[in-house]
């Protein structure tokens, strides 16, 4: 039985004061026994959050360097994240691909850097609006995932979490319908099954305007194992509604 994951991605939001409040508010949250809950703050704050997070909250990173160390100004390595008690890291988020030139090749290297240190890679994929409208969703997601899966050892595939985030649904208030999202998740699981016998255990999360009103229906789909939450993770009251939907 797969658990339901609810991961927050704060993106470029929150500061030390709002984070202190968030952690205080989170003390009231009761994480259901079948749920895994986590949050990815901006990197400068993640070590603080990891040091103060309760047992029931995983702390993640929004990014990781593909390099181990050396002359790479501005980067943070997987080993450093591990040293700071970071449990998971997003990789290949569409905003990284769009604004910071992250290619499938770089994404693949980042996933492997994380796998070497035992940090859970949350591999993001998803089609743009134009690709969606022109019927290319599956082929785009397939090439994003194959670019990584072709270079990950079969036994390591079981250590991945995949997040399907259609770009047209991110921050737009346009959520994919549960039926459409389910279709895509089923497609992703079948694709992963070509690489690993553990595909049926793989958490596949949905992201894109997921909130307290639509989470329950999304999470009820056979192949949707939770959500990667942007805007609705910034306030604990909103985030908790999604955590409750995991029950």
Please report how close the Cβ of residue 89 comes to ligand 13P at its closest, in angstroms. Answer: 12
The candidate with the shortest Cα–Cα distance to 122, out of 85, 161, 65, is 161
Site string for ligand 13P, 49-78 (x = CB under 6 A): ------------------------------
* Region binding ligand 13P by CB under 6 A among candidate stretches 27-35, 49-57, 187-195, 204-212: 204-212
* Structure tokens that stand for 85 in this block: 């008690």
Provide the pairing of β-strand 35-40 with 204-207.
unpaired
Integer Cα distance of 76 and 38 in angstroms: 20
Please report how close the Cβ of residue 234 comes to ligand 13P at its closest, in angstroms. Answer: 9
The residues assigned a catalytic role are 93, 165
Total binding residues toward ligand 13P, as defined by CB under 6 A: 14
* Structure tokens that stand for 36 in this block: 């895994």
Q: Centre a 10 Å sphere on the Cβ of residue 134 and count the other Cβ atoms it contains.
A: 10
> How many degrees, rounded to 5, is the angle at CA 87 between CA 162 and CA 164?
15
Among 9, 77, 144, 240, binds ligand 13P (CB under 6 A): 9
Q: What is the three-class DSSP state of 1?
A: coil
Say which residue the tokens 């009231």 belong to: 28
Does residue 207 touch ligand 13P according to CB under 6 A?
yes
Does residue 209 touch ligand 13P according to CB under 6 A?
yes
Residue nearest to ligand 13P (CB): 230
Does residue 14 touch ligand 13P according to CB under 6 A?
no
Contacting positions for ligand 13P (CB under 6 A): 9, 93, 165, 170-171, 207-210, 228-232
């Amino acid at each position: 039985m797969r658990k339901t994951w609810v991961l927050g991605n704060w993106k470029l939001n929150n500061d030390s004061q709002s984070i202190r409040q968030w952690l205080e508010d989170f003390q009231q949250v009761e994480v259901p026994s079948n749920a895994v809950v986590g949050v990815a703050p901006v990197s400068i704050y993640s070590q603080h959050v990891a040091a103060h997070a309760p047992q029931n909250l995983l702390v993640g990173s929004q990014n990781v360097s593909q390099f181990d160390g050396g002359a790479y100004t501005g980067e943070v390595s997987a080993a450093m994240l591990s040293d700071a008690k970071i449990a998971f890291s997003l990789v290949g988020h569409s905003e990284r691909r769009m604004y910071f030139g992250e290619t499938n090749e770089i994404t693949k290297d980042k996933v492997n850097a994380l796998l070497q240190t035992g940090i859970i890679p949350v591999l993001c994929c998803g089609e743009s609006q134009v690709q969606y409208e022109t019927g290319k969703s599956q082929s785009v997601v397939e090439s994003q995932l194959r670019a990584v899966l072709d270079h990950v050892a079969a036994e390591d595939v079981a250590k991945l979490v995949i997040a399907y985030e259609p770009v047209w649904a991110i921050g737009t208030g346009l959520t994919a319908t549960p039926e459409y999202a389910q279709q895509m998740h089923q497609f992703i699981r079948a694709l992963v099954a070509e690489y690993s016998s553990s595909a049926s255990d793989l958490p596949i999360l949905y992201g894109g305007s997921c909130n307290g009103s639509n989470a329950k229906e999304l999470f009820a789909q056979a192949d949707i194992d939770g959500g990667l939450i942007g805007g609705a993770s910034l306030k604990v009251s909103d985030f908790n509604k999604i955590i409750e939907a995991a029950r």
